[in-house]
Structure 1
Amino acid sequence: MREALAIITSAGVEKLSLREVARRLGVSHQSPYRHFESRDHVLAEIVRRAFVDFAAALRGAPITDNPGADALQMGFTYVRFALTQPLQYRLMFGGSLPDPMVHSEMMRGARDAFNVLRDALRRVAAARGRMADPKVLDQEALFAWSSLHGAVSLLASDAMGTLDLDPGEQDAFIGHALKRIGTALGITPPHTHESS
């Protein structure tokens, strides 16, 4: 697994092959097949582990008696994970995943991460004395996730560095984006916030 990740890091996911893993490890080209059926099985396991780490990071955000503040903090945690674990984030959301129907375990972490977000939004609704409609809750969770994904994608792009922005504007952008997402979801942000 470590060697497969090293290949992906240095040469890209398209260069990953069991033959190359074996060559780098100095073993016969058939040796990796004792552990993994195919290249896609290796990649699916790497992605599965990335999603597990992602869900654990989201779940690790503090839980207080202020569900709105907790949801905002989870947003900062999402962004922090994406920016500090760019390879994992890119593998999870880069679009070159092995077939989820064949590798169903791979997506368990994605569902787990989405459920963490659902739970946070349920807590917000409960704090307002409302029972969250499951369909509306899913739409709000998808809105929050896609908005954060867009913000992270912009931060990671070369385009952000070419904009004529004042110093510190990029850092302030995440806090502003999270507050706007919170406003759209009816979450009152706390008076202070952590920077990403």
Structure 2
Amino acid sequence: MKKNKQIKTELPNNDDLREAVLAESLKILSKEGPYNLSLRKVARNLSVSHAAPYRHFKSKEHILAELTTHAFELFKQYLQKDLPPIYETEKLEERFIQMGENYFQFARDYSDLYRFMFGPKVFDMHSHPEVLKCANSSFLVLHEHISAMQHQKLIAGTDAQVSSMFVFSAMHGMASLMLNGAIEDIVADEKTRQNLTEYMKHKVLRALKESE
């Protein structure tokens, strides 16, 4: 199984306490989950006073909000990796397939972060506009692409929001099964498992073409 990338690469790695708190929080999230994160634990792990993290973050929720913002920024970068320009309409289908591959690659490379982003909500995102902005911005990458394909009559339908949610739901379902080991339990052959994600991308595209 491919080793999960070190999440710390998303954040600056320096001696600044604020960045150290974020980096240590990511480590705790990866190993223990969001419910076991606390500012006291972060302070203890960093060998600083319990009050030190509060100089930069009002609460655990503010740490989670900032980490989520970083996560969606990285996710958006992954989605846009190696994509042909959207105005090259003859490459829109190729672009869709590449975006799907980018989605699965992010889930594989940052599996802990992926689970955190799309897992149970542990804070109110509406209380942190910057988080919602980043989350919506990453979804807009897919939404704009679906709109372009509909405009060019490459896929059926006129509601880009609904079609985008269909694509996201399908990709998320496959990625979650992949990360949770469910596919590995059923399909023993690694090459066959790899082919499943390729099949999934093309199957979703075909479904978009055939939908009413």
Scaled by the length of structure 2, the TM-score of the pair is 0.80
1:22/1:31 contact within 8 Å kept: yes
Matched, 1:68 2:93: yes
Q: Residue 71 of structure 2 corresponds to which residue in structure 1?
A: 50
Partner in structure 2 of residue 32 of structure 1: 53
Residue by residue, what CA displacement relative to the aligned partner does 1:107-141 show, whole Å, maximum 9, x if unpaired?
222101111001111221233389x73xx110000
Question: Quick one: which of 107, 131, 146 aligns to 1:121?
Answer: 146
1:145 corresponds in structure 2 to: 168
Check the 8 A contact 1:67/1:127 in 2, yes or no: no
Unaligned residue ranges in structure 2 (runs of 5+): 1-21
The verdict on how the C-alpha distance between 1:70 and 1:33 changes in structure 2, with shifts beyond 3 A counting, is same
For the residues of structure 2 that align with 1:164 and 1:75, how far apart are their CA atoms? 21
* Most deviating of 164-173 and 39-48: 164-173
Say whether 1:175 aligns with 2:198: yes
Letter in 1 for 2:134: G
Instruction: Write the distance in 2 (CA, Å) between the matches of 1:83 and 1:2.
Output: 20
Gaps of 5+ in 1: 188-196
Farther-moved stretch of structure 1 (82-91 vs 64-73) = 64-73
Is the CA contact (8 Å cut-off) linking 2:126 and 2:132 kept in structure 1? no
Note if contact 2:69-2:131 (Cα within 8 Å) is conserved in structure 1: yes
In structure 2, relative to structure 1, the CA distance for the partners of 1:62 and 1:31 (3 Å cut) is same
For residues 34 and 20 of structure 1, the distance between their equivalents in structure 2, rounded to whole angstroms, comes to 15
Paired residue type of 1:179: H
Q: 2:121 aligns with which of 80, 86, 96?
A: 96
Q: 1:79: which partner in 2?
A: 104
Instruction: Note closer, same or farther for the CA distance 1:61–1:121 as it changes in structure 2 (3 Å cut).
Output: farther
Give the aligned residue type for 1:185. L
What is the identity, as a one-letter code, of the residue corresponding to 1:40?
Answer: E
**Identical-residue share of aligned pairs (%):** 31
Alpha-carbon offset, residue 26 of structure 1: 1.5
Aligned length: 185
Aligned to 2:185: 162
Q: Which amino acid aligns with 1:122?
A: S
- Alignment partner, residue 191 of structure 1: none
CA deviation map 1:10-60 (0-9, x unaligned): 222211101111111121111111100100110111111101110121122
Over 4 Å off, 4+ runs? 164-167
TM-score (normalised: structure 1): 0.87
